[in-house]
Structure 1
Amino acid sequence: MRRPSPLPPPPASEQPSRRRVDEPVPAPPTRHPDPADETAPVVPLVRPSVSDANGSEPTGSASFVATPDAEGASLRDVWRASRARRRALSAEVRRFTVRQRRRRRVWIGVAAAFLVMVLGTAGAAYSPLFAVERIEVVGASQLDVAAVTDALDGQVGTPLALVDDSAVKAALVRFPLVESYTLEARPPHDLVVRVVERTPIGVLQSTAGFTVVDAAGVALSTTPDAPAGQPLLEIAGGTDSDAFRAAGRVMRALPDAVRAQVTGVSASTPDDVTLTLGATGSRVAWGSSDRSAEKAVVLDRLMAKSPPDRTKEYDVTSPEAGVVR
């Protein structure tokens, strides 16, 4: 068996150098510093140059001041930069909210103008600038207009907005012909009173004389003699009966031309209302007050064809078939 050959020895340059014990160690090579490896200088904090009365520096103080760094920055410069940044930020906020602020100003102006207008109008309305100086009565045909105006004279000098409706009502209650009324203010100084008069339907004879009444049974006037142009009412039960209410509805439904010829109205029940026409004494059998408007039209046509001086009786109890006798 053949033995392997040993490895060749390393070259002389790679073999470790051997030194003797007494041989001196060579100094390491000198290394020049790189400018890139240099660090920034350290800026120390120093105490303020304030000394006491003895010329020595105060002890126990923790306050320090910063000396300017290499670029000249200081605490005052930082404060100025911060203030400039806040100003710039405020300017940007104002720039981006200009539309919102303008809209808010417009709304505030509109609200203020509306408030001023309302307050000014209310102040003027309740001031003597719009006081009542003239009262006008409208719708009166049977009433004495001068008497009504004198009764409302207490409202003269009162602002239109403060006219007392209850006082006006109390003044008009004294006039039985007034059925209803409305007040109308015409600035600056006019008060208009629109009245609706009661419509008389006839007279009731009693021991006191002849009393003119309307369809509601309200006594309008009483005279010792029968007033001209008003039919005589002969109603069973008086003004509080159903027969009187039926007769009142019939009289209000008649046309003016027919009503002017009625000289008497009689009813014992609500279903047997009878009218008397003119000097001839022609009768109109009306029946109940139902469908009075239709019956009035039929009676008007029958009277046009057959005048009362040639007719004894008109029967309109059934408006579909009027009868002349």
Structure 2
Amino acid sequence: MRRPSPLPPPPSRDEREPEEPIEVFLPVVAPRGSDDVDGVTAPVVPFAQPASAEPARRGAGEHAEPDTAGGGPDEEPMLRARDVWAAARARRRALRAEVRRFTARQRRRRIVWAGSAAALVLLVLGSVGAAYSPLFAVERVRVVGTSQLPAAAVEDALSAQLGRPLPLVDSSEVKAVLVAFPLVESYTLEARPPHDLVVRIVERTPIGTISSAAGYTLVDAAGVALSTTPERPKGYPEITVPGGITSRAFAALGMVFRSLPDDIREQVTAMSATSPHDVTLTLGKTGTDVVWGDASESARKAVVLESIMTSRPPAEVSEYDVSSPGAVVVR
């Protein structure tokens, strides 16, 4: 690689013109007291000629031998491959330094995001590992929400879940155990770390008994048989439905019974229906009938019946007809 010379090369020694000797005239001052000063001059002394003028004195034909030690003035030193590689490496290092300088803020932001993500991943993995470890194993099963069903019996049936980590509790096994208890209508599982498993149970509400050859069967509003005893259970009305527990009349009767206030529900001793539109209730020992009609507007009918029974007790009335709640008939 050759670079252009910024200036023209200087002339060689042979091309330079010989310099003429310079004559210098100096005035001579006469000694003090002398009258003859005219025509007195100082001698002429030529300056020493420079070394470059010697070739001119030797003759025009003589030339100095060229100095080949450093090469000619027009020649430039040759670049070696090592110098080129060193220059390329220096250029790459400078370029990388500039790139690092201009991307320092981006690198810092990337490091912060990477650190945050790593911390979050470690937190999640640690939490999951701890949750599935014996540190959160089930040590106690608690059953809440039962009134007729013995809670201790349910807890004993669920003892297979003891020792399992809370996230590994098998809900299908719990369901298979609770299905064996007819009084359980629904349930929810609640994990309370570190060692408690809570089972919240909603019991079925019995509405009455149905007489059969096997005895008296206690049923709820959905027709689920809760228990069967040879004698009629006390505190539950007797149900008379020709179509059985799968009929529409039984479904309407169940809706009516569940809409009654507690104080009126306790007085009902019998319920009957031949169709969904003629539900009839029997109150207390007086045998007073309540003609309900269908299950529509049951909440309003219950409020009207409670008000009428306050002003006209069942002992004074043989029948309440609330099938039309806007026009109650009392007989």
Q: Normalized against structure 2, the TM-score is what? A: 0.76
User: 1:139 aligns to what?
Assistant: 145
2:162 equivalent to 1:156 = yes
Aligned equivalent of 1:189, options 188, 191, 195: 195
The separation in 2 between residues aligned to 1:77 and 1:240, in whole angstroms, is 102
User: 1:211 aligns to what?
Assistant: 217
The separation in 2 between residues aligned to 1:33 and 1:321, in whole angstroms, is 145
Report SS of the residue matched to 2:223: coil
Shift of 1:174: 1.1
User: 2:243 aligns to what?
Assistant: 237
AA in 2 matched with 1:260: E
Q: Identity, % of aligned pairs? A: 64
2:125 equivalent to 1:92 = no
Shift of 1:81: 3.7
User: 1:166 aligns to what?
Assistant: 172
The separation in 1 between residues aligned to 2:328 and 2:145, in whole angstroms, is 37
2:47 equivalent to 1:41 = no
2:213 equivalent to 1:201 = no
The separation in 2 between residues aligned to 1:144 and 1:293, in whole angstroms, is 32
Task: Specify every segment of 5 or more residues in structure 1 that has no aligned partner in the other structure, as ranges.
Answer: 1-30, 44-67
Report SS of the residue matched to 2:320: strand
User: 1:28 aligns to what?
Assistant: none
**Once structures 1 and 2 are overlaid, which stretch shifts more, 210-219 or 294-303?**
294-303
Shift of 1:297: 1.3
**Once structures 1 and 2 are overlaid, which stretch shifts more, 162-171 or 113-122?**
113-122
Shift of 1:76: 4.5
Tell me the C-alpha RMSD between the 2 structures: 1.9
User: 1:223 aligns to what?
Assistant: 229
1:231-283 Cα offsets, whole Å, 9 max, x none, are: 01011111111111110111111111110110100111111100000111111
User: 1:289 aligns to what?
Assistant: 295
2:109 equivalent to 1:103 = yes
Aligned equivalent of 2:286, options 264, 268, 280: 280
Shift of 1:32: 6.0
2:146 equivalent to 1:128 = no
After the TM superposition, which segments of 4 or more aligned residues of structure 1 sit over 3 Å from their partners? 31-34, 73-82
| Number of residue-to-residue matches in the alignment | 264
- Residues 8-87 of structure 1 aligned to structure 2 (within 5 Å): 40-43=73-76, 68=77, 76-87=82-93
Q: Normalized against structure 1, the TM-score is what? A: 0.77
